[in-house]
Amino acid sequence: MSRLYDTIEPNVIDEKMLQKAVEEQGPQEELGQLAKREGIDYKDVTELQLDFRNILKIDNLWQFVNLTKLQLDNNIIEKIEALDSLVHLIWLDLSFNNIEVIEGLEALVKLQDLSLYNNRISKIENLDTLQELQVFSIGNNNLTALENVVYLRQFKNLRTLNLTGNPVCENEQYSMFIAAHLPDLVYLDFRLVDENTLLDVIQNLSNFEIADSKLVKYNEDITQLSDMLMTLEMQTVDQLEVRQGDVSAKCQIENTGAASLLPYCRDLENHHHEKLLEIAITTLEKIVKSEFDEEMPDDVRLLFVDKDTIVNAVNASHDIHLLKIDNREDDIITKANSWSSSVIEEVRKPLRLGEQNPAQGKDKQQGNESTLSCSSFLVQQAERHQVPANVAGPLPGSQRG
């Protein structure tokens, strides 16, 4: 892709080379001989050809201030430099050299035709001031990125572009991509940009516009869906709060209902105690008078020794029953509150169900067998004397409800 040093020694542009080049390119007849004798003013030179001279470095061109065309092709130049004084240059040929970077062209604002063909360039850059550029040849280099060509969109006068021989040309979308991003091109890679390529580009642009419109519609749908989900989330939060309130209210109602029954149970127990105490004293009097001829368990008969003993036994039974009622009340309230907490926790955090503590206030081991046996015996006596069932029935707590 680039020229190697020939057997000839590399050269730099010196006065001798410039003088010889100007003479060779000037008139060869009588007028030319006169110019040689009187000398040539480099300011009058508008075209200069320095090709095939093994030039390694550009230099000593500052005197050619009116130069419009410069040929430096087929040398071994490695860097673009020393061209700042050539502000009138329109045509520049640096093809077939060893240049790796585009640089040093900032001052050439009038340049219209630039050839960098067959060098080692890997990126199109540093051409921003060349807004008059019409023809650009950069084939046979190392351009690999198709996107780098987009850099050339800034050159509104560009009509001819040569990229052939670069790796970028192997891309399947190469021609269409160039035509799409540089629609004013007339020639691409020495070929006229045909109408079919333009039609394909237009069709693809149409497809892109359709895709863009669908993308906008999809974005609108996504936004609408997001708003809907946000609204549903807020409604769900409100419903959860209402649900929590309902659960709390229900628990309060249940606790109130249970609490309203327990005082009635205490009243029944007190009434039962009074009747039971009355029957116990009556039975004691019959035993003392030897008027009680019914069978009685031995452990119960031991309680009917005197009035204090039987009264203490009946009172102990009464205290046990009241304690059972109190424990039952505590148990109901504790279980209701526990259930309420578990429901609320389940609603709020379905993935983390809290374990509930066992209900507190378990029934304690109460009384002694003699007292309970006495109670059972007195109940039987109450039934014999036709005491109402709701008053003298089984002692509360003697059976689990």
Q: Which pLDDT tens digits describe the chain residue by residue (401 residues)?
A: 445 555 568 988 998 899 889 888 876 544 445 455 566 788 989 999 999 999 999 999 999 999 999 999 999 999 999 999 999 999 999 999 999 999 999 999 999 999 999 999 999 999 999 999 999 999 999 999 999 999 999 999 999 999 999 999 998 888 888 988 898 999 999 888 876 566 655 565 555 555 666 677 678 878 888 888 888 878 877 777 666 666 666 656 555 555 567 787 888 888 888 888 888 888 878 777 777 777 778 777 777 778 888 888 888 888 898 888 888 878 887 887 787 777 777 666 653 443 344 444 344 444 444 444 555 555 555 555 444 433 333 433 333 33
Range of the domain at 100: 11-193
> Could you write out the DSSP letters of every residue in 293-320?
-S---HHHHTTTTSHHHHHHHHHHHHHH
Domain boundary among 144, 173, 193: 193
Question: What pLDDT is attached to residue 339?
Answer: 78
Structural domain includes residue 319: yes
Residues 377 and 233 reside in one and the same domain: yes
Residues 122 and 256 reside in one and the same domain: no
For residue 141, what is the domain's CATH number? 3.80.10.10
Domain boundary among 176, 193, 210: 193
Residues 177 and 103 reside in one and the same domain: yes
Residues 232 and 173 reside in one and the same domain: no
> Could you write out the DSSP letters of every residue in 3-68?
PPP-SSPPEE--HHHHHHHHHHHS--SHHHHHHHHH---GGG--EEE--SS-EEE----TT-TT--
**Strand 69-71 to strand 47-49: parallel, antiparallel, or no bridges (unpaired)?**
parallel
State the Cα–Cα distance between residues 318 and 325, nearest whole angstrom.
11
Question: What pLDDT is attached to residue 160?
Answer: 96
- Centre a 10 Å sphere on the Cβ of residue 214 and count the other Cβ atoms it contains: 10
Structural domain includes residue 399: no
Exposed/middle/buried for 19, CB within 10 Å: 0-12, 13-18, 19+?
middle
**Strand 91-93 to strand 69-71: parallel, antiparallel, or no bridges (unpaired)?**
parallel
Question: What pLDDT is attached to residue 376?
Answer: 55
Residues 285 and 143 reside in one and the same domain: no
Residues 232 and 189 reside in one and the same domain: no
Question: What pLDDT is attached to residue 185?
Answer: 92
* Among candidate residues 14, 37, 36, 10, the one with its CA nearest the CA of residue 25: 36
Structural domain includes residue 200: no
87: CB partners within 8 A, 6+ apart: 65, 107, 108, 109, 110
State the Cα–Cα distance between residues 163 and 177, nearest whole angstrom.
13
Question: What pLDDT is attached to residue 257?
Answer: 58
Structural domain includes residue 23: yes
Structural domain includes residue 20: yes
Residues 178 and 247 reside in one and the same domain: no
Domain boundary among 193, 208, 236: 193
Structural domain includes residue 156: yes
Residues 115 and 254 reside in one and the same domain: no
Residues 63 and 187 reside in one and the same domain: yes
Count of domains forming the chain: 2
CB 141 within 8 A of CB 1: yes
State the Cα–Cα distance between residues 239 and 243, nearest whole angstrom.
6
Question: What pLDDT is attached to residue 211?
Answer: 61
Question: What pLDDT is attached to residue 96?
Answer: 97
Q: What is the dihedral of CA 18, 19, 22, 25, to 10 degrees?
A: -110
Structural domain includes residue 19: yes
Question: What pLDDT is attached to residue 262?
Answer: 74
Residues 364 and 243 reside in one and the same domain: yes
Structural domain includes residue 180: yes
State the Cα–Cα distance between residues 95 and 112, nearest whole angstrom.
16
Predicted TM-score (pTM) of this structure: 0.51
Strand order of the β-sheet with 113-115 is 47-49, 69-71, 91-93, 113-115, 135-137, 160-162, 187-188, 191-192
Tokens 């578990």 belong to 342
Residues 351 and 266 reside in one and the same domain: yes
Residues 41 and 122 reside in one and the same domain: yes
Question: What pLDDT is attached to residue 253?
Answer: 58
